[in-house]
Amino acid sequence: MTIVPILIIAAISGSASLLVRGNRPWSTGIAILGLVGMVATSIALGATATIEIGGTTLAASDWLRLYAILGSVVGLLLVLVDVSALHEADAPGVIVLGLGAAVLALALPDPVIAVAAATAGGLAGVLVAAPVGAAARAAFVGVRELRALAVAGSLAIVATAWLARPLADLATAPAVFGLAYLAFAVAVAIRFGAIPFHLWAARVADAAPGVALPLLMAWGPAAFAAVALVWIDHSVAPLLLPFDGERAVVAGVGAVSIVLGLVAAWIQDDLEHVVGYTIVADAGFVVLGLTVFEPGIWAPTRTWLLVFVVVRSALAALMVALNGSFGTRRLSELDGWARRAPALAVALVGIAIATIGWPGQLAWDARASIAGLALPDPLATLVTIAPIGGLAVYGRILAAGVRPSGDAVRAGRSERPGWPVPWPARPMVGRGSIELGFERVGHAVGGLLDVLWTLPAAARLNRMGLAALAVLALTGLSLGVAAGGLDVAAAARAVTVVGEPIPSSGPARSGAPVGSATPGLSPTPEVTFEPIGSAPAGQPVGSVEP
Amino acid sequence: MLNPALAAIAAVTIAGGVLAVSAREPRATILGLLIVMLASPLIVEPWPGPLPILARVAAAFLAARLLVIGVRTDGSSGIEVVSSGSAIGWPAEALAAAAAAVLGFASHGLGAAGLGPAEAQAASFALAGLAAAPLIAGRDVLRLGVGSLLLLDAALLLRLGLDQPPTAAEQLVASLLTIGIGGAVAVVATAARAAGGLVVPDETRRRSRPPDAHRPAGRTQERAAGRAPERAPSRTDSPRS
């Protein structure tokens, strides 16, 4: 199956969900149906299926397939947590549309079009950042997000268009190439809210529903970053230009985001800010991955992209569940939360394990590879072990949870299961085995009916238990993906093959960046460059290929 | 080589951009944006086929319709929706756009041979120049939204000037982008209007603390709050030099 059914389901269900936004149950129901359909079609997606539409090929890959499956499943669980805990308006529809746009961007082999698609998907997030009827502050948050998306999208469109044509007669090759590379890398940093471009993201983390945060700050930007990775691999890396200054700037942004993102998450009182800043910290590794022009960066960066978006989605779901349970998202008011919601406490521990990991675990190794390839040794080691600082973030949240319960927690909901009505007593009055048999069958049918017509009320009564179950499911998924389950590592090595299939073992080539990790895509046309310093004086830097 | 037809379309595009950033009346702003969204896909050689053009036109009208919904006046609330407009006036905006257009035309290809028309790059530079002030200094959501839309359109125009003509699929994605940004601007405008007006406070901007000599006295503040009665100025109330 090709990518088209996923896109059609996402477009129809996402739009329909937003069109009936006045009726929240219907809106959510349509979005859930759409996500279920996306899960099914993603599983059926062929890893090498291609289809040509309007002169452009839409191509699938193992990584895209896994992204679509994980995105749909995580989106479904996030919506279930939201329905159980808070039931925010518009968030389900925006999740469906955003995921659809991200899948479209990843299926487009032309980075110029892919960037436009990824930007269009990000715009859907403005709907939840500035909901109708919100305060003036929400409108300003929304317009800041819009501005960030427009600037990032414009930078990326210009950068990709600049390198998409024959560049044999360039006057000043290195500077403008470097600017194009820097523009796209900065665009990715802006989309992730990496430090120092984090102000808009911090406001969005404050204003947007917690359940939409993973889409706005992780899943959508991850697709954008994956497009950037492909573009750098087949348009920038083959140029063999060092770009030392530009790469140092981008590496600085990545390293600073990793460290300061964790510090910011540690000192925040608002749990959604904690989620936002941990995403910023994790995204620092993706930004670091953009500074390496070797095929060896391909697999670890794409592995980390999948791991971090799933893990942060689980953390966001946990925070939404806490907010729904106790009516506050301020850590200072959540004393004793773990006593009332032990399943969520278990989930927090699981998320911490999945996030931080250990040497030998897939997520840890991916981060270590990225840092080792992007940074010189002492700095690489520091950045590699920096996520251990996340223990302080999770420890602080957990420490608040084991303290004596505060007012908000005492007044909040518990995970303890309950049933809305007492079970009816059905005394056995029959005599003989036949009578008793009839009686038992009747009681069984009656009991079943009792359960069926009480289910809606039971779901309402056990909202927090259901939310906790969904969070635990997300945590399990995070642990599995972080440990290499679902064949993440193999999917991360896979490449999109467009046109004639080219035999390739993926990016597992060694040596200098003599080629790209995406052999099916055409590289920057008609130009080859010698490394700076190797060309004799007076000789032009660029030369046309025969 | 200047193509008169493309140059005329580029001029219309730039004029639409000038109208969008200069007008205080939101409907005029949206008319300017509609002109930009309708004309900009046509600054390409050869022109796109009928279906891609139809998609871009439909997207432009839909985006404009969403914008109209976002800024229409609610008669019951009595709130008059007015944008802050340009601080320097339309003639200055037009001159700045013209200068940027000349720069874009002259630098066609940005160092290498451009595969698209130079007129597209000229219009791109002009729109980017027009978008700069609203994006950087805009204090109302409509103006910031106009800046964002013009900037993205400028980027798409630059791509038309640098690279080969877009495929039908690319036109379709550009249509989605147009609808998306129109809808996003409409959403923030609606949210701002519901909160009292298009101009919203920027909480990140620190208020400057006035010097002590110019700070209002406590009694003046109480009077402003209606707690202290007005009284005739006496010698003790006279301002100190």
Is residue A440 scored above 80 in pLDDT?
A: yes
Nearest-by-Cβ selection for A176 from B111, B183, B196: B111
| Site of tokens 């990496």 | A194
Nearest CA in chain B to A131: B191
For B174-184, the pLDDT digits (tens) are: 999 999 999 88
CA distance A117 to chain B (A): 6
Q: When comparing pLDDT for A133 and A353, which is higher? A: A353
Is residue B163 scored above 50 in pLDDT?
A: yes
Of the listed ranges A178-187, A298-307, A504-513, B11-20, the least confidently predicted one is A504-513
Rounded to whole angstroms, the Cα distance separating A293 from A399 reads 43
CA distance A75 to chain B (A): 21
Is residue A482 scored above 90 in pLDDT?
A: yes
Nearest CA in chain B to A140: B200
Which one, of A324, A315, A322, lies nearest residue A390 by Cα?
A315
Residue A544 sits at the chain B interface (C-beta within 8 Å) = no
Nearest-by-Cβ selection for A139 from B154, B164, B200: B200
Is residue A505 scored above 90 in pLDDT?
A: no
Residues of A in contact with B187 (CB under 8 A): 126-127, 130, 132, 142
Is residue A346 scored above 80 in pLDDT?
A: yes
Q: When comparing pLDDT for B56 and A54, which is higher? A: B56
pLDDT in the model for residue B201: 59
Of the listed ranges A325-334, A512-521, B56-65, B133-142, the least confidently predicted one is A512-521
Is residue B105 scored above 80 in pLDDT?
A: yes
CA distance A14 to chain B (A): 13
Contact residues, B window 155-214, toward A, CB-based 8 Å cutoff: 155-156, 158-159, 162-164, 167-174, 176-177, 179-181, 183-185, 187-192, 194-196, 200-204
Best of A115, A123, A127, A203 to substitute, by most chain B Cβ atoms within 10 angstroms, is: A123
CA distance A280 to chain B (A): 20
CA distance A147 to chain B (A): 6
Residues of B in contact with A133 (CB under 8 A): 191, 194
Of chain A, the percentage scoring pLDDT greater than 90 comes to 42
Which one, of A283, A300, A270, lies nearest residue A214 by Cα?
A283
Mean pLDDT estimate for chain A: 84
| pLDDT-derived band at B234, boundaries 50, 70, 90 | very low
- Inter-residue contact A195 to A280 (CB < 8 Å): yes
- CB spacing of A166 vs B112 below 8 angstroms: yes
Is residue B185 scored above 60 in pLDDT?
A: yes
- CB spacing of A147 vs B115 below 8 angstroms: no
Q: When comparing pLDDT for A134 and A289, which is higher? A: A289
A115 φ, ψ (degrees, to nearest 5) = -65, -40
- CB spacing of B159 vs A108 below 8 angstroms: no
Is residue A414 scored above 80 in pLDDT?
A: no
Best of B62, B157, B171, B177 to substitute, by most chain A Cβ atoms within 10 angstroms, is: B177
CA distance B117 to chain A (A): 14
Residues of A in contact with B74 (CB under 8 A): none
A:B CB pairs within 8 Å = 180
Which one, of A283, A148, A166, A273, lies nearest residue A228 by Cα?
A283
Nearest CA in chain A to B70: A132
| pLDDT-derived band at A265, boundaries 50, 70, 90 | very high
Residues of B in contact with A176 (CB under 8 A): 110-111
Give ∠ CA A78-A195-A106 in degrees, rounded to 5: 50
pLDDT in the model for residue B36: 94
pLDDT in the model for residue A207: 78
Residues of B in contact with A126 (CB under 8 A): 183-184, 187-188
Q: How far is CA A452 from CA A159, A420, A440, A444, A455, in A?
A: 58, 12, 18, 12, 5
Contact residues, B window 65-104, toward A, CB-based 8 Å cutoff: none
For A211-244, the pLDDT digits (tens) are: 888 888 899 999 999 999 989 988 888 877 888 8
For A193-209, the pLDDT digits (tens) are: 998 888 888 888 877 88
% helix, strand, coil for chain A, step of 5: 70, 5, 25
pLDDT in the model for residue B88: 82
Nearest-by-Cβ selection for B170 from A113, A120, A134: A113
Cα within 13 Å of Cα(B54), Cβ side: 3
Residues of B in contact with A108 (CB under 8 A): 169, 173
CA distance B139 to chain A (A): 9
Is residue B230 scored above 50 in pLDDT?
A: no
Rounded to whole angstroms, the Cα distance separating B197 from A153 reads 28
Q: Which two tokens stand for residue A132?
A: 């109708």
- CB spacing of A133 vs B191 below 8 angstroms: yes
| pLDDT-derived band at A455, boundaries 50, 70, 90 | confident
Is residue A442 scored above 60 in pLDDT?
A: yes
Residue B147 sits at the chain A interface (C-beta within 8 Å) = yes
Of the listed ranges A20-29, A160-169, A439-448, the least confidently predicted one is A160-169
For A41-76, the pLDDT digits (tens) are: 999 988 888 888 888 888 888 999 999 999 999 999
Nearest-by-Cβ selection for A153 from B113, B152, B164: B152
Which one, of B5, B42, B6, B19, lies nearest residue B150 by Cα?
B19
Mean pLDDT in residue range A388-411: 90
Residues of A in contact with B184 (CB under 8 A): 123, 126-127, 142, 146, 149
pTM here is: 0.84
Rounded to whole angstroms, the Cα distance separating A68 from A48 reads 14
Residue A135 sits at the chain B interface (C-beta within 8 Å) = yes
Contact residues, A window 49-78, toward B, CB-based 8 Å cutoff: 53-56
Residue A112 sits at the chain B interface (C-beta within 8 Å) = yes
pLDDT in the model for residue A382: 92
| pLDDT-derived band at A137, boundaries 50, 70, 90 | low
| pLDDT-derived band at B62, boundaries 50, 70, 90 | very high
pLDDT in the model for residue A518: 56
Of chain A, the percentage scoring pLDDT greater than 70 comes to 88
Is residue A126 scored above 90 in pLDDT?
A: no
Which one, of B76, B125, B92, lies nearest residue B22 by Cα?
B92
pLDDT in the model for residue B98: 94
- Residue A353's identity, in one-letter code, is I
Cis ω for the linkage preceding B117 (within 30 of 0): no
- CB spacing of A55 vs B203 below 8 angstroms: no
Cβ neighbours of residue B11 under 8 Å, at least 6 residues apart? none
Residue A352 sits at the chain B interface (C-beta within 8 Å) = no
Mean pLDDT in residue range A518-529: 49
pLDDT in the model for residue A501: 38
Mean pLDDT in residue range A25-51: 91
Contact residues, B window 31-70, toward A, CB-based 8 Å cutoff: 52
Nearest-by-Cβ selection for A154 from B155, B169, B202: B155
Mean pLDDT in residue range A166-185: 77
ipTM: 0.81
DSSP element (H, E) containing B58 = helix B50-71
